[in-house]
A and B are shown apart, each in its own frame.
Chain A
Amino acid sequence: MTDQTTPRPVIEARDLKTHFQGRTGIFNALAGAKPAVARAVDGVSLSINAREIVGLVGESGCGKSTLGMSLVRMYQPTSGQISFDGDDITHVEGRRLKAYRRQAQIIFQDPYSSLNPRLTIGQIIEEPLIIHGIGNAAERRAKVIRAMDIVRIPASENIDRFPSDLSGGQRQRIAIARTLVLEPRFIVADEPVSMLDVSIQASVLELLEELSRELGLAVLYISHDIATVGYICKHVAVMYLGRIVEEGRAEDILAEPLHPYTQRLMASIPRMDPGEIPERTELRGDVPSPMNVPPGCRFSTRCPCATDLCREIEPELCEQPGGQRVRCHIHDDRGARQRPDLERPEAGRITEIADAGLLAEATE
Chain B
Amino acid sequence: MTGHQTLGPAAATALGQLNERLAAKPAAHLQVSGLSIHYSTLRGPFNAVDNVSFEVAAGTNLGLVGESGCGKSTVVKALMGLLPEMTRVTGQALLDGQNILGLSDADLQDVRWNRISLITQSAMNSLDPVYCIGDQICEAILAHEPVGKTVAWARAEQMFALVGLPAERLREFPHQFSGGMRQRAVIAMALALNAGMLLADEPTTALDPIMQSQIMSRIRGIHDHMRRSMILVTHDIAVVAETCETVVVMYAGKVAESGPTQDVLDRPLHPYTMGLQNAFPRLPVRGQPRKPLISIPGTVPNLLLPPAGCRFAGRCPFATNLCRSVAPPTYQIGAQSAACHYVERASQFRVAAAEPDTWRSMEPSR
Q: Does A200 contact B (CB under 8 A)?
A: yes
Residue-wise interface mask of A (38-52) relative to B, using a CB-CB cutoff of 8 A (1 in contact, 0 not):
000000000000000
Question: By the criterion CB–CB under 8 Å, are B242 and A270 in contact?
Answer: yes
Residue-wise interface mask of B (211-237) relative to A, using a CB-CB cutoff of 8 A (1 in contact, 0 not):
111101110111011000000000111
Question: By the criterion CB–CB under 8 Å, are B68 and A197 in contact?
Answer: yes
Measured in the bound complex, the distance between the Cα atoms of B180 and A362 in whole Å is 19
Partner of A226, one of B209, B235, B275: B209
Q: Does B276 contact A (CB under 8 A)?
A: yes
4 tightest A-B CB contacts, nearest first: A357-B164, A359-B221, A268-B213, A202-B295
Q: Could you pull out 9 A-B pairs where Cβ atoms are within 8 angstroms?
A: A59-B210, A169-B299, A198-B279, A203-B295, A264-B210, A272-B237, A358-B161, A359-B218, A359-B222
Question: By the criterion CB–CB under 8 Å, are A206 and B164 in contact?
Answer: no
Q: Does A205 contact B (CB under 8 A)?
A: yes
Across the interface, name the chain B residue whose C-beta is closest to A149: B365
Contact stretch, chosen from B36-44, B104-112, B282-290: B282-290
Residues of A within 8 A of B (CB): 59-60, 152-154, 167, 169, 197-203, 205-206, 224-228, 230-231, 250-251, 254-256, 264-274, 276-277, 280, 282-283, 286, 354-364
Q: Does B163 contact A (CB under 8 A)?
A: yes
Q: How many residues of B contact A (CB 8 A)?
A: 59
Q: Does B137 contact A (CB under 8 A)?
A: no
Partner of A205, one of B221, B282, B286, B293: B293
Measured in the bound complex, the distance between the Cα atoms of B217 and A283 in whole Å is 12
Interface-central residue, B161, B184, B285, by most chain A CB under 10 Å? B285
A59 to chain B: which residues have CB within 8 Å?
Answer: 208-211
Question: By the criterion CB–CB under 8 Å, are B286 and A60 in contact?
Answer: no
The answer to whether A265 and B276 touch (CB under 8 A), given A197-B68, A199-B295, A360-B164, is no
Partner of B213, one of A254, A270, A354: A270
Known contacts A228-B293, A277-B242, then 6 further A-B pairs from the complex at CB < 8 Å, ordered by chain A residue: A60-B179, A255-B284, A286-B180, A360-B164, A360-B214, A362-B220
Question: By the criterion CB–CB under 8 Å, are B217 and A226 in contact?
Answer: no
The answer to whether A268 and B212 touch (CB under 8 A), given A277-B242, A357-B162, is yes
Measured in the bound complex, the distance between the Cα atoms of B96 and A361 in whole Å is 30
B281 to chain A: which residues have CB within 8 Å?
Answer: 198, 201-202, 225, 227-228, 230-231
Segment 197-211 of B: residues with Cβ below 8 Å from A: 207-211
A286 to chain B: which residues have CB within 8 Å?
Answer: 178, 180-181
Partner of A272, one of B178, B238, B293: B238
Question: By the criterion CB–CB under 8 Å, are B162 and A255 in contact?
Answer: no
Residue-wise interface mask of B (294-320) relative to A, using a CB-CB cutoff of 8 A (1 in contact, 0 not):
111101000000000000000000000
Partner of A255, one of B212, B216, B283: B283
Question: By the criterion CB–CB under 8 Å, are A226 and B283 in contact?
Answer: yes
Measured in the bound complex, the distance between the Cα atoms of B94 and A192 in whole Å is 42
Question: By the criterion CB–CB under 8 Å, are B294 and A202 in contact?
Answer: yes
Measured in the bound complex, the distance between the Cα atoms of B276 and A359 in whole Å is 31
Question: By the criterion CB–CB under 8 Å, are B217 and A360 in contact?
Answer: yes
Interface-central residue, A201, A206, A277, A362, by most chain B CB under 10 Å? A362
B216 to chain A: which residues have CB within 8 Å?
Answer: 270
Across the interface, name the chain A residue whose C-beta is closest to B294: A202
Question: By the criterion CB–CB under 8 Å, are B221 and A361 in contact?
Answer: yes
Question: By the criterion CB–CB under 8 Å, are B235 and A356 in contact?
Answer: no
Partner of A355, one of B164, B178, B241, B296: B164
Across the interface, name the chain B residue whose C-beta is closest to A200: B295
Across the interface, name the chain A residue whose C-beta is closest to B65: A198
Measured in the bound complex, the distance between the Cα atoms of B148 and A105 in whole Å is 61
Measured in the bound complex, the distance between the Cα atoms of B238 and A277 in whole Å is 10
Question: By the criterion CB–CB under 8 Å, are A227 and B282 in contact?
Answer: yes
Q: Does B14 contact A (CB under 8 A)?
A: no
Q: Does B11 contact A (CB under 8 A)?
A: no
Measured in the bound complex, the distance between the Cα atoms of B296 and A201 in whole Å is 9
Measured in the bound complex, the distance between the Cα atoms of B294 and A200 in whole Å is 8
Question: By the criterion CB–CB under 8 Å, are A360 and B218 in contact?
Answer: yes
Question: By the criterion CB–CB under 8 Å, are A268 and B209 in contact?
Answer: yes
The answer to whether A203 and B164 touch (CB under 8 A), given A255-B286, A256-B286, A271-B241, is no
